[in-house]
Structure 1
Amino acid sequence: MRRTRLVRSLVCIVLLFSLLPAVAQRKAAQSPPNIIVILTDDMGYGDIGAYGGRFVPTPNIDRLAAGGLKLTQYYSGAPICSPSRASILTGMQPGKWNFTTFLDTRKHNKDAEQIDYLTPEAPSIARFFKNAGYATGHFGKWHMGGGRDVTNAPGFAQYGFDEHASTYESPEPDPAITATNWIWSEKDSIKRWGRTQYFVDKTLDFMKRHKGQPCFINLWPDDVHTPWVPKVETEYTGKFPMNPQEEAAFKGVLKEYDVQIGRLLDGLKALGLAENTIVIFTSDNGALPTFGGARSGGFRGSKLSLYEGGIRMPFIVSWPGHIPAGKADDRSELHATDLLPTLSKLAGVRIPESYHGDGLDRSGMLLGKPSFRKKEMFWEYGRNDIAYNYPKGNDRSPRLAVRSGEWKLLMDADGSKAELYNIVKDPAETTNLQATEAKITKELSGKLVAWWQSLPKLNAH
């Protein structure tokens, strides 16, 4: 009898130990995912091989696309850095926080009718995730306050970040990359061509030290923004962009950037974190220069333009076992403001009831169910003639835009310069249908003016 009980006990112990791996796997599967948002600087739709890029091979970015979902209708919040970044952080239209163009000196900001820095009272995706138990880090460009003569911008902690390493255009620049009071210098201990590697190293180190705790990380390099200083260069000529043959310099920078994305992916795998990490790869705004439109991937426009080349960006998202691998979604629209509610839903992070953002929860679409976005998307660029005289020529767009379903309307705030495009049939925006589609033009212009008038305004001099 005693022997029988002993045998039964041993059998139970063996069964218990045999079940432990499955329990551990189930627990890992149920643990909140890590999230890395890679926001490339000034990367055009046509820079990446997976999107038809022809400049240099981008095997590592393409590898991310092969293991994830590629969207062809993702839109940034603005055609320039500061407001586009604010739209991701807050999940709101940047104009609601008085962001309209890049932040510069106090005089420039006043001329542009915008604020000097993002108020810490604004909502922050990092703060929401931190309050839910995530470790939060920001590694890379900030450009939502700080730098030049703006010395009173709030620090990263006030936006919900535990750790940071950032560039000159931030409230707390990293000494390793800001030896002088400028964007970059030969005196920096981390050279211009080594900065993305530096930010990737910071990201992997942060995740290693917080293993066992979910991480939310902004990995926001300042590549591939000019000045382009690839490894092969031995001295900076002082020209901007770097030299008259800038395409060669760009190719060198893009090639190295792709290598560093590969290091990130390999590093996640080595840490055992790749399977439960959502990786998003996108860009803050369009390219400039575009090299005759090639970097815009066939779209009209560039950085600083509300044509597609300025706001339609590459977007790749990967989460093994959850997000379909090797798929392309040509149907679904996604806006930068959607990232906050979407990532919160995927991670099980509760959004405060007091928060009222402009984005939509598009988690179902990312998980493999394509759908149209049931809400208009709005943009502005250019509140006056003082600070908004770019780009020149055919890429210069009207100052406001709205997309509603298959239609996109651009116009100035006074209703002039109206341009209407069927953006599904005519993504290159070649045929203005404003005169022949009067009803649609009137309907969308009314919505666009109403949206514009709802935004707060800071007056220039």
Structure 2
Amino acid sequence: MDGTRLARLLAGIVLVLSLLPVFAQRRAGAAQSPPNIIIILTDDMGYGDVGAYGGRFVPTPNIDRLAASGLKLTQYYSGAPICSPSRASILTGMQPGKWNFTTFLDSKKHNKDAEQIDYLNTEAPSIARFFKHSGYATGHFGKWHMGGGRDVTDAPGFVQYGFDEHASTYESPEPDPAITATNWIWSEKDSIKRWDRSRYFVDRTLDFMKRHREQPCFVNLWPDDVHTPWVPEPETGYAGKSPVKPQEEAAFKGGLKEYDVQIGRLLDGLHELGLAENTIIIFTSDNGALPTFGGKRSGGLRGSKLSLYEGGIRMPFIICWPGRIPANRTDDRSELHATDLLPTLSKLAGVKIPESYHGDGVDRSGMLLGKPSLRKKEMFWEYGRNDVAYNYPKNNDRSPRLAVRSGEWKLLMDADGTRLELYNIVKDSAETTNLEATEEKLTKELSAKLVAWWKSLPKLGDN
């Protein structure tokens, strides 16, 4: 090699070496860029509603596309079998009973009869508040149902829970006029019609993220689909029938089909904004389906909304984060609870949790990043403190009022120690074989833990 070529080669090597710190710095900067987070909390979606979970009602190609891009869990549990306490568990990362949430919020009389509060105490921790304090822009678009509506006119506003922007339904402290023309959940007078609500919430989400592209965003996208009533667009109808009654299966199929379309619009919108690669998307449901159309919407699980059987609390759960969370995988064994989302998402996003915070959730970030593991902490539930203000599913779907999941075992019982039911939930997810009589030692151990947990919860009126 002549001297000129050698000099050029050495100069090139020197140039590359000089640029390595710059490249490394850029890579580190990209790795340290906090991810956007969108929690899609579907309303009353059963385990069997989604194609990726075996659903056969209508194709759900866009939800299935999300599953193909991420991780699908089959052992995810909501915090309650009904909306208000379930939502509180996600927001606070705590058992909802600790904040006197026991069923859906309604009128003050109903709430008192149900032995619960009228709205979430602003002293409660909030995942949105934690993310906001770490520099995130925070938005809530969709159903709230943790205070406000009916005769509860003194519920705190969204800003007190850490949200910068919001657009919500009637069951909130600050209902959006576009979807609450009258003092009720929906109305023909609404400028945004019932069948266009999910589109509206998706549009608000994308607009919010577009306006905050230089800032990480935390968004609750909590539509009120696929909760009844299912109101199809009058011009089209569904299944060749018009009008369609808002409680029948044909109307549900139309609502689910349109909801899936809007999930696709969200995914496409994020790609168009250049935000898809660094956005964590979670797709799940607040509680089980009702009606279930003969159990079909529960996907082979026993029970429904209002029940502590699996059909009421085991929900579809999909999480996607391109390049970080393994794509097109299913984890059939790792348990995840709604209270785990706060510590888990905080860890993934590098958000600091205050030292004063003592939640009930567990950091499951390692599991979501591709390392399956069992949850080393029991999960507890309650539903139904009396027979005055609680709805219960009928017949075989009505569960005892308390439940605990410990490893592969699940025990249900009433607070007075009766109606004991023990299931190996891994081998018997349909809860068909009660092993309480043959597993006496385990039943005694778990029932003692369940009673102790129940007694530890504050009761309305406690000082």
Match of residue 255 from structure 2: 253
Superposition pairs of residues 247-396 of structure 1, within 5 angstroms: 247-396=249-398
Q: Offset at 1:10?
A: 12
Report the residue type matching 1:436 in the other structure: T
Contact 1:29/1:276 (8 A) holds in 2: no
Q: Secondary structure at the match of 2:318?
A: strand
| Mapped partners of 1:306, 1:212: distance in 2 | 43
What RMSD, in angstroms, separates the aligned Cα atoms of the two structures? Answer: 2.2
- Residues 54, 150 of structure 1: CA spacing in aligned structure 2 closer, same or farther, 3 A cutoff? same
Deviation at 1:25, TM superposition (A): 5.4
CA contact (8 A) 1:229 1:253 kept: yes
> Aligned letter for 1:116?
D
Aligned partner (choices 390, 405, 408) of residue 407 of structure 2: 405
2:218 aligned with 1:216: yes
Quote how far apart the aligned CAs of 1:40 are. 0.1
* Aligned counterpart for 1:443 among listed residues 437, 442, 445: 445
Query: Which letter does structure 2 place at the counterpart of 1:131?
Result: H
The CA distance in 2 between the partners of 1:432 and 1:319, in whole Å, is 40
Change (3 A) 1:233 1:410: farther
Q: Any idea what the Cα deviations from partners look like across 1:134-175, whole Å, max 9, x if unmatched?
A: 000000000000000000000000000000000000000000
Aligned-residue offset at 1:18:
11
Task: Tell me the matched-pair count.
Answer: 448
SS for the counterpart of 1:218 is strand
Runs ≥4 in structure 1, deviation > 6 angstroms? 8-22
Q: In structure 1, which of residues 88, 106, 123 is the aligned counterpart of residue 108 of structure 2?
A: 106
Please say if 1:457 is aligned against 2:449.
no
CA offset at residue 226 of structure 1? 0.3
* DSSP 3-state at the match of 2:443: helix
Deviation at 1:392, TM superposition (A): 1.2
Aligned mate of 1:226, from 206, 211, 228: 228
Measure how far apart 1:30 and its partner are. 1.9
| TM-fit CA distance, 1:12 | 9.3
Can you list the C-alpha shifts for 1:214-258, whole angstroms capped at 9, x where unaligned?
Answer: 0000000000000001224689xxxxxx72871000000000000
SS of the residue 1:60 aligns to = helix
The CA distance in 1 between the partners of 2:429 and 2:133, in whole Å, is 41
Specify the alignment match of 2:136 in structure 1: 134
How many angstroms apart in 2 are the aligned matches of 1:243 and 1:265? Answer: 31
Q: Please give the alpha-carbon distance, in whole angstroms, between the structure 2 residues aligned to 1:175 and 1:12.
A: 64
Distance, in Å, in 2 between the alignment partners of 1:447 and 1:78 is 18
Retained in 1: the 8 A contact 2:228–2:246?
A: no
Distance between the aligned counterparts of 2:20 and 2:271, measured in 1?
26
- The 1:129/1:193 distance shift into structure 2, 3 A limit, reads same
Structure 1 gaps, min length 5: 1-7, 236-241
**Matched residue type, 2:209:** M
- 1:316 deviates by 0.1
Give the secondary-structure state (helix, strand or coil) at the position aligned to 1:402: strand
- In structure 2, the residue matched to 1:121 is 123
Give the TM-score taking structure 1 as reference length: 0.94
TM-score, scaled to structure 2: 0.93
Structure 2 equivalent of residue 77 of structure 1: 79
**Residues 245, 156 of structure 1: alpha-carbon distance in 2 compared, 3 angstrom cutoff:** closer
Between the two proteins, what is the percent identity of the paired residues? 85
1:16-35 equivalences in 2 (<5 Å): 24=26, 26-35=28-37
Q: In the alignment, which of 39, 48, 51 is matched to residue 50 of structure 2? A: 48
